[in-house]
Amino acid sequence: MSRPTSGPVASDPSWGNRSDLDVLNRDIPRVDGPVKATGEAVYTHDVRLPDMLWARVLVHPVPRAEIESIDVEAASEMPGVVHIEALKEPGDAVRYLGDDAVLAVVAAETPDQAADALGAIVVKARRLAPVVTPEQALKEGAPVVSRRRKADSNVGRANERGDEAVADAALAGAVAVVERTFVVPIQHHVCLETHGHVVQPAPDNEQVTVYASTQSVGGTPRGLARTLGRDASKIRVLTPHMGGGFGSKFGPGLEGALAARVANVTGRPVHLMLTRADEFAIAGNRSGSRQKLKVGADSDGRLVGLKLEADKLGGVSGGSLPGPPYIYTVTDGAAVFSKIRSVHTATDGSRAMRAPGHPQASFAMEAAVDELGYLLGMDLVDIRIRNLESAVHHRQLRRVAEEIGWADHPNRDRPGAAVNGRAVGIGFGVSVWGPGGRSSRCDVTVRPDGSVVSATATQDLGTGARTYVAAIVAEELGLTVDMVEARIGDSDLPPSVTSGGSVTTGSSAPAIKDAAHKAREGLEALLTDVLEAPVGSYVWKDGRVSVRGDASRSLPWIAVCALLREPLLAQGEFRDFLHEGRIHGAQAAKVEVDTLTGRVKVLKMVTCQDQGLPLNRLALRSQINGGMVQALSYGLLEQRVFDEQDGFLLSDNLDLYKIAGSQEIPEMVALIDDEDERPSVCGMAEAPVIPGHSAIAGAIHNACGARLTRMPFTADNVLETLYGKI
Amino acid sequence: MKDFDLKLPENLDAAIGELPAEYTREGAQVLAGGQDIVTVMKDDIEQPAALVSLQRLGLDGIEWDGDGGVTLGATVTVQALADDAGLERAFPALREAAQSIGSPQIRSQATLGGNLNQRPRCPYYRHPSVSCFKKGGSVCLAEFGFNKYAAIFGGGPSYFSHPSDLATVLLMLGATASISGPGGERKVPLAELYVLPEESLETETVLRPDEILTSVTIPAPPAETRSSYLKFKERASYDFALAAVAVSVVLDGSGVVTDARVVLGGVAPKPWEVPAAARALIGKSMGPEAWTAAGAAAVADADPLEHNGYKVHLVKGLVFRALESLA
Amino acid sequence: MREMDPSSGEPSAISRRSFLKGATQVAAAGGIIGGAPASEQGTAVEPEVETLSGSSSMELLVNGKSRSVEVQPRTTLLHALRNQMKPPLTGTKEVCGTGSCGACTVLIDGQPAYSCLTLAVTCAGRPVTTVEGFGSADAMSDVQQSFCDKDGMMCGFCTPGFVVATHAALDRAPKATLDELKYELSGNFCRCGTYPHVFDAAQAVQKDRARGEDGR
């Protein structure tokens, strides 16, 4: 259908001078805004196929049990039930509340019939000691819950770094030393669209179609190939829209495998989305931690020694926590000692979640820096700048300090005190991320009728990826965004990356740029005969092409395309020099604490964030705000709650698992760091979620002297920190 | 949710006739706005074979008597309570309580009667797989388990805290509920409407299974009364009370409290009046000293569990803040 | 098992397939129906209790159009919209199922409601407006357009609920301050953290509408 761009490439693509950009580095309304705002966007949840079955899974309510029987007979005879299958045999164990606790799958003609059948399955099981807390896991004689075959305890191998004696000696010589134990709870992703798939089976010689709420359209075919008994090339995965992932939706998971299996067995399309309760029980989480952190500083406020002993709490998974010192620098690297281990409980394994491990590390490290500042009588911004190597951090901290009103704040080097039970404080935190980029491809097709398609197998988690897939091409060809059709969310398109760790933009944007540039040069090759200038000497702007320096030699876009006898296909690849590797951010938070009631009200949050060239400033501010909101929610409210006696997951709903709502949201200022003039692009979504809760904790302390060492910062926590536990 | 029959009676007697004399988990129950009963049924806590709708009974009136008192129909929506200008003038605390409830979506559908009769929010009670005293079981898992939200007064053998904001404020306002059953109508002061777990585990009120709460009457407040409802939500957006205070004071010309009433919400299995707090105010000038004393008196009898001792601090603070708002 | 009730002249949109009228059915149901003395039952002209039981067909008035749906008493409005209509109206989302998040917000009689807590049968004769009723991608409402302009969405799964709630909030409180807007939108939750831009969108609509009024 198409022919590749002919002729050698005349020049490398470039993002160009920022002052010359007409589309990028501006506010671009997202291209799928209208379908999202009107309910027309079809998510996997919304897929309705003829003859489709509705599937549900049965999750055992407690983490550990021995199955005596799973009786599906009565359920199988209920109206509308087409497929029902127990997934465990008598004598099998439920080892943890996660995918191992899925006991059965049901598929029926209607959602109600599936739910009714689920309720009619009779499970007899002997409940075993739950092992849901680290205390239970570490108790002598505790049942071993690890997924590792030969594990003989619930403690993973400790990762030790540094020389403890050197660190101890440095700390002994420090002028100021802070030692605290920080407790970070487990957080859930709470993707509003739960995990799930719709699988449409097909004969062996045709493609199976799978709608998936996934962060990896490209990886999902491989993930389902074995279950579907066919080569990945015979599986087409579609993710037209998805309702959030945040790191929890990389593979098809058990729910995807079951949907595929039921579709295989029944030969009918199967819709299997987890319920909200299922989602909380088996769809992952951000690991918690306990961190005993000791940090010392010299009289100038330089960090001179650090010791960290930490338990990562990732359920049956390892959990994540970066090694210390987190972001900040200790003058003598040898004086840093850490011992980090995993403590396993019989609970769902942690998964990646937006900057895995980093918010946890930030919570402890920022608190320690604050307190060293107070011990030394140093300004909280000054002590940070003293211990941060990057000049980018320095300017960003000064910028957020200015925006939050730090210069006029009375408590710059010591915590304040409440007046009539009310106190206002300010806190800070910093972030880094190094997403980089990797191999990705994009096809740009220009048709004789002037239409343009930009296609790559990426997915838009809500980040705005779909919009820059079109906008980058529009910029290169002098078009408006609506003149370029973005095609994504389809595994049959040119391959791109799994969206995790902020790698999407750094990987796919260079490939899109490369394709657009090749298309442009392909068109310029046609123009050499018409406008009589060589490739590389044209200006593409406002829907026209003209010869650089001679505006009279010009053609409108539609006339250029009319020169094509067939569609022009330009195939772009990842170009290393178009992407950036490392980003930085700083945040400040201002809070009011009511010391009589324990109410923490966040008054304002500010972020300054760099990311190379901003592709879409509007979506970028959305992402920065989103990071602040999630960090605020994490800090103020979020906590997974298990009943420790019997092991029920109590917070398997949005009543008890509380996320921030509109009335939690303070004034939020998202500052794009335009002093970052790097001529390259970079993903940034992880960074703004890292330090917000740390800044809020610092602000609470700064307001009234209450250093909260555990999260969330709810009234019980504030009041018990201030007045002790009753 | 199990399926059920929906009964749409045309009059009150017919509605009462559809209700069972004895409670069972499968017995018919009343449907008003549905904002609580539907969640209770979705969680399989109750599985009534029928719901009896009050939709056609015309119980949604707000009627003033000539003396400044008002009678509120059971199916008046919470939003109507929050919006009514007459109620705002006469009973500002009632409006504050109504405004604090749920969300716009809840307020527009939820009713006065439904709010007063809502079931506990204890996470154990709401968990479909947990058996507890309130569900015919033989244990209160909250007593030694997750009890951060549990009662610090009046608990045992069950320790849930009653979630109704309107119950708390209406008790403070001296309201009386009208209840109709097979034997006719009876009037029950709000102070006598609720029962503690030690009196009954299957219900939270004195309503019998075949009775319907039809209206609530609030007497005219004494002149020079100031009242307030202050609710502390763990999450500012859409949450139940961690603790709440309904308070009224009557002041003489020199700012001395001559009468007072203090009722706590969210801290006991029923709205919890603390006469000692009122006594601590009477005869005192409105000011921080009196407010602190009232707060201390309010929690003197508190008996917290392992994880809800903070509510003692919180109630003290809330009583102070509620009184401060009336000064 | 049940028949249409021919005696019902009421303009109820529920098909009266399940009237319990006769003494035999009362006996079969195992109880006395109604509050009136049994001796009067034989002479009663108007049935005192309508009973809906099992699956039945009803008309729902959705976005100005009457739509026929097969429901049970337990069928929520959300479920009726998403699964029972032909074609389905899937703009309204299910996220929590317990009235805790707002993704399923619709207007019933012009008032915001969680369709996941609303029984479809109780909506007979009451106009229901879903996100699709406010506009289409080609012809958006002012609120929908403003959500696009201000980027009041990221993943978009909460967006339909927020759009409906914002319409309701601005109808209710056209001149709401920012704090009042937050209060009026407090029944809707977003995980991506779109709130600041949702507030921007709502405030932009307020300004536009105020300008429109001034112009008139």
Res. C51: pLDDT tops 70: yes
Residues A230 and A260 in one domain: yes
Using alpha carbons, select from C45, C106, C104, C116 the residue that is nearest to residue C75. C116
* pLDDT for the residue numbered C3: 33
Last residue of a domain, one of A225, A251, A282: A282
Q: Is residue C188 within 8 Å of residue A662, measured between CB atoms?
A: yes
The single residue listed with the structure tokens 């309010």 is: B298
Gap from A382 CA to chain C (nearest CA, Å): 30
Backbone angles phi, psi at C154, to 5 degrees: -125, -90
CA distance linking residue B194 with residue A550, whole number of Å: 88
Res. B73: pLDDT tops 80: yes
Residues A499 and A474 in one domain: yes
Residues A563 and A606 in one domain: no
Going across the sheet that includes A336-342, the strands are: A159-161, A336-342, A303-313, A288-297, A176-184
How many interface pairs between A and C have CB atoms less than 8 angstroms apart? 187
Residues A117 and A13 in one domain: no
Q: Is residue B42 within 8 Å of residue C99, measured between CB atoms?
A: no
A156 domain-assigned: no
Residues A496 and A564 in one domain: yes
Backbone angles phi, psi at A701, to 5 degrees: -60, -45
* pLDDT for the residue numbered C27: 31
A481 domain-assigned: yes
Fold match flag (C58-133 vs C142-215): no
On whether any CB of chain C is under 8 Å from the CB of B38, the answer is yes
Q: In A, which residues are within 8 Å of B121 by CB distance?
A: 655
A334 domain-assigned: no
Q: In B, which residues are within 8 Å of A56 by CB distance?
A: none
Residues A605 and A640 in one domain: yes
* CATH number of the domain that residue A87 is part of: 3.30.365.10
**B180 DSSP β-pair partners:** B185, B212
* pLDDT for the residue numbered C26: 32
The single residue listed with the structure tokens 């769809």 is: A283
Residues A651 and A695 in one domain: yes
Using alpha carbons, select from A306, A288, A312 the residue that is nearest to residue A158. A312
Residues A74 and A200 in one domain: yes
CB contact under 8 A, A276 and C95: yes
CA distance linking residue C60 with residue C109, whole number of Å: 12
Torsion of CA B304, B308, B313, B317, to 10 degrees: -120
Nearest chain C residue (CA) to A666 = C196
If one looks up domain C58-133 in CATH, what number appears?
3.10.20.30
Q: How confident is the model at residue C215 (pLDDT cuts 50, 70, 90)?
A: low
Q: Is residue A308 within 8 Å of residue A293, measured between CB atoms?
A: yes
Residues A630 and A657 in one domain: yes
Q: Is residue B132 within 8 Å of residue B160, measured between CB atoms?
A: no
Q: In A, which residues are within 8 Å of C160 by CB distance?
A: 37-39
DSSP conformation letters of A91-125: T-EE-SBSGGGEEEEEEESSHHHHHHHHHH-EEEE
Name the C residues in 44-103 with CB < 8 Å from any B CB: 46-54, 72-74, 76, 97-100, 102
* pLDDT for the residue numbered A148: 76
- Domain boundaries of chain C, sorted by first residue: 58-133, 142-215
Res. B90: pLDDT tops 80: yes
Residues A50 and A11 in one domain: no
Using alpha carbons, select from B314, B309, B279 the residue that is nearest to residue B294. B279
pLDDT < 50 stretches in chain A: 1-7
Query: Cα C70 to the chain's mean position, in Å?
Result: 16
* pLDDT for the residue numbered B316: 98
The single residue listed with the structure tokens 């002590």 is: A383
Backbone angles phi, psi at B183, to 5 degrees: -90, 5
* pLDDT for the residue numbered A229: 94
* pLDDT for the residue numbered C19: 33
Q: Is residue A525 within 8 Å of residue A535, measured between CB atoms?
A: yes
| Chain B residues within 8 Å of chain A (Cβ atoms) | 2, 44, 121, 123-124, 126-130, 141, 144-146, 148, 232, 234-239, 242, 304, 307-310, 312-314, 316-318, 320-321
Q: In C, which residues are within 8 Å of A41 by CB distance?
A: 156
Nearest chain B residue (CA) to C96 = B39
Name the C residues in 6-45 with CB < 8 Å from any B CB: 18, 32-36
Tell me the two tokens of residue C100. 């805790």
Most A CBs within 10 A among C132, C151, C199, hence the mutation to make, goes to: C151
CA distance linking residue B104 with residue B110, whole number of Å: 10
A357 domain-assigned: no
* pLDDT for the residue numbered C46: 64
Maximum alpha-carbon separation in chain A:
87
CATH 2.40.30.10 corresponds to the domain C142-215: no
Res. C36: pLDDT tops 70: no
CB contact under 8 A, A34 and C140: yes
On whether any CB of chain B is under 8 Å from the CB of C113, the answer is yes
Res. C14: pLDDT tops 70: no
- The whole-model pTM stands at 0.95
Backbone angles phi, psi at A26, to 5 degrees: -125, 175
Select the residue of A646, A664, A722 nearest B236 (Cβ to Cβ): A664
| Chain A residues within 8 Å of chain B (Cβ atoms) | 61-62, 119, 421, 594, 596-599, 601, 636-637, 641-646, 648, 650-653, 655-656, 658, 660-664, 714-716, 719-720, 722-723, 725-726
Range of A487's domain? 3-30+437-578
Domains of chain B are 225-324 (3.30.390.50)
Select the residue of B126, B148, B236 nearest A663 (Cβ to Cβ): B236
- The amino acid at residue C84 is Q
Tell me the two tokens of residue A359. 């918010």
A235 domain-assigned: yes
Q: In B, which residues are within 8 Å of C185 by CB distance?
A: 104
* pLDDT for the residue numbered A230: 95
Q: List C-alpha distances in Å: A582 to A569, A579, A678, A682, A691.
A: 33, 10, 11, 8, 17
Last residue of a domain, one of A282, A314, A346: A282
Tell me the two tokens of residue C184. 């009026």
- The amino acid at residue C165 is A
* pLDDT for the residue numbered C212: 86
Using alpha carbons, select from B301, C78, C215, B316 the residue that is nearest to residue A594. B316
Last residue of a domain, one of A578, A611, A638: A578
Residues A556 and A665 in one domain: no
In this prediction the ipTM stands at: 0.97
Q: In A, which residues are within 8 Å of C193 by CB distance?
A: 625-630, 633, 660
Using alpha carbons, select from C105, C211, C98 the residue that is nearest to residue C157. C105
Q: In B, which residues are within 8 Å of C52 by CB distance?
A: 5-6, 8
Residues A543 and A593 in one domain: no
Q: In A, which residues are within 8 Å of C101 by CB distance?
A: 192, 654
